[in-house]
A and B are shown apart, each in its own frame.
Chain A
Amino acid sequence: MNARAFIPLAIFAVIAVLFAVPLLQGKDPAILPSAMIGKPVPLFELAPAVGDQKLTTALMLDEGKPFLVNFFASWCVTCKDEQRVLADFSDKTGIAVYGVNYKDTKDAAGKWLARHGNPFRATGFDGTGRVAIDFGVYGVPETFLVDGAGIIRYKHVGALRREDMDTIFAPLLEKLK
């Protein structure tokens, strides 16, 4: 028996464990910390994508309660499913959800929301993606949780699943209350 010959195996075992941990925990590697976390929500004013309520930072902060900002687009395939998830979460917790329509056309966005459900209290039309840049959005869908004081607390990259709402958003929201 030569202990040195087992060094590769030992190294491999450590690496394998390091791989297994995030997989078994079901961690989503897509979550990169946003530079915006802990920072105040950017100031903006957007024309509505649907309806006639403008989307502004002031409107969102008016109630002094936590809220969600969801970036979506009608051309985004994975955005479809999360509309239902957002609506249910909003019904259950009473949280306000605002939608920013990213690099889209108002016409397409309107039709798309009519088809897939509109969970938003108000929507803003961000045709140039300017506001998305201020938020540090890489691509749609992305969802931000902002506290009552207007500080960004969490950013979720990719489609929201029901378990994300239960395991991530609900506990965070509980803490903010």
Chain B
Amino acid sequence: MIIELAHYALALAFVLSLLMAVVPMWGAHNGRLSWMALGRPMAVSLCGLMTIALFGLIHAYALSDFSVANVQQNSHTLKPWIYKISGAWGNHEGSMLLWGWMLSAWGFFLATRGLKLPPSLQARVLAVLGLVTTGFLSYILLVSNPFLRLSPSPREGMDLNPVLQDPLLAIHPPVLYAGYVGFSVAFCFAIAALIEKKVDAQWAAQLRPWVLAAWVFMTLGIMLGSAWAYYELGWGGFWFWDPVENASLMPWLAGTALLHSVAALEKRGGLKIWTVFLCILAFSLSLLGTFLVRSGILTSVHSFASDPTRGIFILALLGLTTGGALLLYGLRAPSITIGAGFKPVSRETAILLNNVFIFTFLATVFMGTLYPIFLSALDLGSISVGAPYFTATMTPLLVPFAILMGIGPLLAWRESSFVSMRAKLYLPLALTLALAVVIALLPFGDKLFTVTMFACAGWILSSTLMDMFRKSHRFTRLRSMSPAYYGMIVAHAGFAVLLMGVTAATSWKEEKILWMTQGDETVFAGRIVTFVGLQPDVERNYTVERAILSMQKGDDGEPFFLLPEKRWYPTQERELSETALRADGFGILYAVMGDQDKTNPLRRVMRFYHHPLVLWVLLGALMIATGGLMAMASPSSRKDKA
């Protein structure tokens, strides 16, 4: 019954979204305030209907209602309740419903929190959002409906892929989707601005918090996904340049470029057309990400369903959304006035260069991810592009990017000079060189790579923090710097921390793979590792064999245990390795139990990893997200100019 209600709510939501696409737009076109005002209650009701639909599906999952085909295919009575709930979006249809719900939730916030927007802009933004929602809901209703019934209803479900039964993965998709979908707001703002032919500082000030919100979600979502891959897949890495990971990185990069250019537009009224273009690009890449993951056009560890019909449908949606937006862009962009000018040495130039770099990174990831598809389309055979390509192309670019990142925030808007800045750079430069020497003297790792990357990070960190001390000191009596400024400092410092974490964890990692029989000892990462024994256990929906490994530093060190597991999920007939992790300072000691020797049940393959400073990757990502949040708290600085 609840499923039918949810299905009905979804159908109603479709109709309502169509109305929302038309009525406020028509109102804005003819200057009818009453029609424009309808956008708000429509967006709120749309969110209400979508909530009913999503809740209906979650309810069916919570109660293991196997008369619903989607639940039957992805759930099981014995699954712990949290994975029953997360199972609702751990599959294709459900995840698309979550996507649709997110879209309506952003609409809800636009309608309730966007009260300061000019009525015509808000009406148009909501109408465009309604149009995007219409497209998405038609996709869900036509080819990806999660509410279809099974008759007769089976007694038991087929269970969720055990790799996905993980607490981090229960929250990773909603957070990531909130980010993906959040860029739709920027997209709607861009379309509305193109329709109104009005792109100015005020528009940018109103757009900025939405971009930041989506970007923060996206940052956290990518971080959670990376952490999940790190401990769940057991490959001893946190980023694999897998197509699905790249699919989330691309909109993030576009979003990063966008929030820099939107800041420039808000402060100085420059980079207008470029900002509009980035808005369209960020959301298009979000859609592309969805398309890549859902169409089965790329195969990867993350993708579940692959169905060509769905692929063609999403491609058509992408074509209409992005194609339509770019057509409008082509028609309207020339009539948007050029923004305020700036001198070659200025903050604007730095932001423009930042955008050029990020755009290059983006193009690199784009080509690396999609090159195999393009080759296949042109019948030139198929290949897959791996991590070496990305490392080789991205690393050299990081050096000028880091140099710029250290200097950019020091430059004044509109006009600045290197001469006035030179004095501010001596100390950071000295600190950077000192750090480089220290790193170079360390007796391990790939010297060139490690020293370069640490120098980059040190440069960003020292020049950014120096700038903060100088500015906050200078302005204490006059005015304090805005939260947005401190947000930028925290995010930039976070990037430096992340860079150091990534460098240390890849360059200084230790790795050991060996056969161990119960009682064996080995030395790893300066510790004596003993394979104490195996302990079988039965859990709710799987059986498990746990290896007990003790680790001790020297003879008098405090011993501790690592307990990697091999789990067997009988309903899915799947085996899964569960890694054992232990923090070691900011590093992680990591053990995985591999296959059993067929002749000796007490003999196992064991893999050990030590990743120094890998927690800095996490810390850096958290700092970046925190910086974004702080910037969001900043009141719009351009109200006076509005």
Closest A residue, CB atoms, query B331: A5
Set of chain B residues within 8 Å of A154, measured between Cβ atoms: none
Interface pair B312/A24, CB less than 8 Å apart: yes
Interface locus among B36-44, B474-482, B567-575, B627-635: B567-575
Given contacts A75-B573, A77-B573, contact A23 B312 (CB under 8 A): yes
Interface pair A2/B333, CB less than 8 Å apart: yes
| B376 CB-CB contact with A under 8 Å | yes
Interface pair B572/A77, CB less than 8 Å apart: yes
Binding site for B on A (CB under 8 A): 1-2, 5-6, 8-9, 12-13, 15-24, 26-27, 29-33, 74-75, 77, 103, 127-128
| B464 CB-CB contact with A under 8 Å | no
Interface pair B330/A128, CB less than 8 Å apart: no
Set of chain A residues within 8 Å of B296, measured between Cβ atoms: 29
Interface pair A9/B327, CB less than 8 Å apart: yes
Set of chain A residues within 8 Å of B299, measured between Cβ atoms: 29-30
Q: State the CA gap A128–B595 with chains docked (Å).
A: 9
Given contacts A32-B382, A75-B575, contact A12 B297 (CB under 8 A): no
Inter-chain pairs besides A6-B330, A29-B299, A33-B382, 4 sampled, C-beta below 8 Å = A5-B330, A8-B326, A8-B330, A20-B315
Q: Tell me the residues in window 336-381 of chain B with beta carbons closer than 8 Å to chain A beta carbons.
A: 370, 372-374, 376-378, 381
Given contacts A16-B318, A32-B384, A127-B598, contact A22 B297 (CB under 8 A): yes
Given contacts A16-B315, A23-B308, contact A9 B373 (CB under 8 A): no
Interface pair A33/B381, CB less than 8 Å apart: yes
Cβ distance A125 to chain B, nearest Cβ, rounded Å: 10
Given contacts A8-B330, A16-B315, contact A128 B373 (CB under 8 A): no
Interface pair A9/B330, CB less than 8 Å apart: yes
Cβ distance A11 to chain B, nearest Cβ, rounded Å: 9
Q: Which of A21, A26, A31, A33 contacts B377 (CB 8 A)?
A: A21
Set of chain A residues within 8 Å of B595, measured between Cβ atoms: 103
| B298 CB-CB contact with A under 8 Å | yes
Q: How would residues 584 to 608 of chain B score, 1 for a CB under 8 Å from any chain A CB and 0 otherwise?
A: 0000000000010010000000000
Q: State the CA gap A29–B293 with chains docked (Å).
A: 13
Interface pair A29/B330, CB less than 8 Å apart: no
Set of chain B residues within 8 Å of A75, measured between Cβ atoms: 573-575
Interface pair B277/A8, CB less than 8 Å apart: yes
Q: State the CA gap A21–B370 with chains docked (Å).
A: 13
Set of chain A residues within 8 Å of B378, measured between Cβ atoms: 18, 21
Interface pair B312/A2, CB less than 8 Å apart: no
| B554 CB-CB contact with A under 8 Å | no
Q: Which of B284, B319, B333, B373 contacts A22 (CB 8 A)?
A: B373
Q: State the CA gap A30–B308 with chains docked (Å).
A: 13
Given contacts A9-B327, A9-B330, A12-B322, contact A19 B315 (CB under 8 A): yes
Cβ distance A6 to chain B, nearest Cβ, rounded Å: 4
19 A-B contacts (beta carbon < 8 Å):
A1-B334, A5-B329, A5-B331, A8-B329, A9-B326, A12-B284, A12-B322, A12-B323, A12-B326, A13-B323, A18-B377, A18-B378, A19-B373, A19-B377, A20-B312, A30-B299, A75-B574, A103-B595, A127-B598
Cβ distance B23 to chain A, nearest Cβ, rounded Å: 28
Set of chain A residues within 8 Å of B374, measured between Cβ atoms: 18
Q: How many B residues have CB within 8 A of the partner chain?
A: 41
Set of chain A residues within 8 Å of B318, measured between Cβ atoms: 16
Q: How would residues 303 to 331 of chain B score, 1 for a CB under 8 Å from any chain A CB and 0 otherwise?
A: 00000100110010011001100110111
| B295 CB-CB contact with A under 8 Å | yes
Interface pair B323/A16, CB less than 8 Å apart: yes
Cβ distance A13 to chain B, nearest Cβ, rounded Å: 7
Q: State the CA gap A2–B297 with chains docked (Å).
A: 35
Set of chain B residues within 8 Å of A33, measured between Cβ atoms: 381-383
Q: Which of A8, A23, A74 contacts B295 (CB 8 A)?
A: A23
Cβ distance B135 to chain A, nearest Cβ, rounded Å: 15
Q: State the CA gap A12–B382 with chains docked (Å).
A: 22
Set of chain A residues within 8 Å of B311, measured between Cβ atoms: 23
Given contacts A12-B323, A29-B298, A75-B573, contact A22 B377 (CB under 8 A): yes
Q: State the CA gap A31–B383 with chains docked (Å).
A: 9
Cβ distance B380 to chain A, nearest Cβ, rounded Å: 11
Closest B residue, CB atoms, query A75: B573
Set of chain B residues within 8 Å of A128, measured between Cβ atoms: 598
Q: Which of B322, B370, B376, B573 contacts A27 (CB 8 A)?
A: B376
Given contacts A8-B277, A77-B573, contact A23 B297 (CB under 8 A): yes
Set of chain B residues within 8 Å of A74, measured between Cβ atoms: 573
Interface pair A29/B376, CB less than 8 Å apart: yes
Set of chain B residues within 8 Å of A12, measured between Cβ atoms: 284, 322-323, 326
Set of chain A residues within 8 Å of B308, measured between Cβ atoms: 23, 26
Given contacts A5-B333, A24-B312, contact A29 B381 (CB under 8 A): no
Interface pair B297/A19, CB less than 8 Å apart: yes
Q: State the CA gap A1–B311 with chains docked (Å).
A: 34
Set of chain B residues within 8 Å of A17, measured between Cβ atoms: 377
Q: State the CA gap A29–B176 with chains docked (Å).
A: 25
Set of chain A residues within 8 Å of B319, measured between Cβ atoms: 16
Cβ distance A99 to chain B, nearest Cβ, rounded Å: 18
Given contacts A8-B329, A16-B319, A75-B574, contact A29 B334 (CB under 8 A): no
Q: State the CA gap A92–B296 with chains docked (Å).
A: 31
Set of chain B residues within 8 Å of A1, measured between Cβ atoms: 334
Set of chain B residues within 8 Å of A2, measured between Cβ atoms: 330, 333-334
Q: State the CA gap A127–B598 with chains docked (Å).
A: 8
Q: Which of B312, B315, B329, B383 contacts A9 (CB 8 A)?
A: B329
Set of chain A residues within 8 Å of B383, measured between Cβ atoms: 32-33
Interface pair A31/B382, CB less than 8 Å apart: yes
Q: State the CA gap A8–B280 with chains docked (Å).
A: 10
Closest A residue, CB atoms, query B324: A9
Q: Tell me the residues in window 218-241 of chain B with beta carbons closer than 8 Å to chain A beta carbons.
A: none
Q: State the CA gap A32–B329 with chains docked (Å).
A: 38
Q: Tell me the residues in window 377-420 of chain B with beta carbons closer than 8 Å to chain A beta carbons.
A: 377-378, 381-384
Which 3 pairs from chain A and chain B are nearest by CB?
Answer: A2-B334, A6-B330, A21-B377
Residue from A16, A23, A77 whose CB has the most chain B CB atoms within 10 Å: A23
Q: State the CA gap A9–B284 with chains docked (Å).
A: 12
Q: How would residues 270 to 305 of chain B score, 1 for a CB under 8 Å from any chain A CB and 0 otherwise?
A: 000000010010001000000100011111000000
